[in-house]
């Protein structure tokens, strides 16, 4: 199971790297989204994938899944959510002000430099 997940996560990273290296800013942001998905799945996988019960005490099960990676992922998800929201608004503002979404055209010097 872990091997399968490793391949899936590797594919996500590959797609993310490809998108981040492209020219359009929206593709880059989609790439960062895929990158954080890959990272979160990696935490889950690295914590160990077992057939145990969900980590809730009330069920009375003997073996439970590792609760720590789930807490880490929850934290990482909200953080990347906040950063992505900020990044999207920034991309919108930059599009309004600079009139382009092409990273290549953001090189060099601006007129007001």
Tell me which residues touch other proteins (CB under 8 A): 20, 25, 28, 32, 35-36, 38-40, 42-43, 45-48, 68-69, 72, 75-76, 79-80, 82-83, 86-87, 90-91, 93-94, 97-98, 106, 110, 112-113
- Quote the least distance from Cβ 37 to other proteins, whole Å: 10
Cβ closest to other proteins, residue 36 vs residue 65: 36
Q: How many whole angstroms separate alpha carbon 41 and alpha carbon 31?
A: 15
Q: How many whole angstroms separate alpha carbon 14 and alpha carbon 97?
A: 32
Q: How many whole angstroms separate alpha carbon 15 and alpha carbon 30?
A: 10
Is 95 strand, coil or helix?
helix
- Quote the least distance from Cβ 27 to other proteins, whole Å: 12
Cβ closest to other proteins, residue 50 vs residue 75: 75
Chain position carrying tokens 């989204």? 33
Q: How many whole angstroms separate alpha carbon 100 and alpha carbon 24?
A: 9
- Quote the least distance from Cβ 66 to other proteins, whole Å: 9
Q: How many whole angstroms separate alpha carbon 46 and alpha carbon 63?
A: 18
- Quote the least distance from Cβ 3 to other proteins, whole Å: 14
């Amino acid at each position: 199971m872990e091997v399968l997940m490793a391949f899936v996560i590797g594919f996500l990273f590959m797609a993310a790297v490809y998108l981040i290296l492209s020219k359009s800013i929206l593709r880059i942001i989609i790439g960062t989204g895929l990158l954080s998905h890959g990272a979160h799945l990696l935490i889950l996988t690295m914590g160990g994938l077992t057939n145990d019960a969900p980590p809730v005490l009330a069920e009375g099960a003997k073996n439970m899944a590792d609760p720590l990676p789930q807490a880490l992922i929850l934290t990482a998800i909200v953080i990347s959510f906040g950063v992505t929201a900020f990044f999207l608004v920034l991309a919108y503002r930059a599009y309004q002000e600079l009139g382009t979404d092409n990273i290549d055209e953001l090189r060099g010097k601006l007129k007001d430099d």
